[in-house]
A = this chain, B = another copy of it.
Amino acid sequence: MSAKVRLYVDHPLGAGQPVPLTREQAHYLFGVMRLAQGDLVALFNGRDGEWQAQVAEAGKRGGSLVCETQSAGQAVPPDVWLLFAPIKKARTDFIVEKAVEMGARRIVPVQTDFTNSERIRQDRLQAHAVEAAEQCGGTFVPEVADLHRLDRLLADWPEGRQLMFCDEASAAGGLDGAPQGPWAILVGPEGGFSQAERDRLRALPFARTVSLGPRILRADTAAVAALTLWQTTLGDWT
């Protein structure tokens, strides 16, 4: 019998390891999902793979599990970041969810010239990334960074990281012949990039302009399409 519930915990996992539950986790497992002592839960913490754990104590306000066997090793996606401009709440949540499923290592909301929102709820987006990993069976949870201004991010760009700039207004090509190594993907905001941003991005020595086809894509669609292109060319879809 294998676990029907997957749960992310921030606690070391290993054979025989007891894992205490927070009040919220206990409510979810015993109140909502109606698990009882002896039932199995699949646990992951983003570091130690996935473990089958048994309910040792089930209470209304707490409880504990004990890890039994490891059911999956720790997976770490290739080193690609997704940079995107936050849009309406529901679409932003979708982008985070899609980035987790598509195997982004890190998610970076960026403020561009045409971005409407000036702040994001980083904690909410991070929780959304955790939930997406719980649901898609992954063992890795990408970090969701705080909102960065695009111009500052480009000025402080990390040494050795390539940038795939998805420019809808361009007739650029794909990633053929692009170098292996750390990458970041930048997908545009609703309304596109400003001309100043486009000129700057195209002139960067570490940036490669890539086309996402002849149709206009929403930001969440563009994120999945761009990650597909990258994963099939340079990532772990072989």
Assess whether A34 is interfacial by the CB under 8 Å rule: no
Known: A213-B237, A228-B229, A236-B213. A102 touches B221 (CB 8 A): yes
Q: Which of A46-104 contact B (CB under 8 A)?
A: 75, 77, 97-98, 101-103
- How many Å lie between the Cα of A174 and that of B216 in the bound state? 25
Looking at chain A, what size class is its interface with the partner chain? 20 to 34
- Residue of A98, A228, A236 with highest tally of chain B CB at under 10 A: A228
By beta carbon, the residue of chain B nearest A75 is B214
What copy number does this chain have within its complex? 2
Assess whether A138 is interfacial by the CB under 8 Å rule: yes
Assess whether A215 is interfacial by the CB under 8 Å rule: yes
By beta carbon, the residue of chain B nearest A227 is B225
Interface flags, A207-222, vs B, CB<8A=1, else 0: 0000111111110010
- How many Å lie between the Cα of A225 and that of B217 in the bound state? 13
Question: CB distance B217 to A231 under 8 Å?
Answer: no
- How many Å lie between the Cα of A236 and that of B138 in the bound state? 33
Given A136-B215, A212-B237, 7 extra CB contacts under 8 A: A77-B215, A101-B217, A103-B213, A103-B215, A137-B215, A174-B232, A213-B231
By beta carbon, the residue of chain B nearest A173 is B238
Question: CB distance A221 to B221 under 8 Å?
Answer: no
A-B pairs with beta carbons under 8 Å apart, 23 shown: A75-B214, A77-B215, A97-B218, A101-B215, A101-B216, A101-B217, A102-B221, A102-B225, A103-B213, A103-B214, A103-B215, A136-B215, A137-B216, A138-B215, A138-B216, A174-B232, A213-B237, A214-B236, A221-B224, A224-B225, A225-B227, A228-B229, A232-B232
Interface residues in chain A, defined as those with a beta carbon under 8 Å from any beta carbon in chain B? 75, 77, 97-98, 101-103, 136-138, 174, 211-218, 221, 224-225, 227-229, 231-232, 235-237
Neighbouring B residues of A229 by C-beta, 8 Å: 228, 232
A145 nearest CB across to chain B (Å): 21
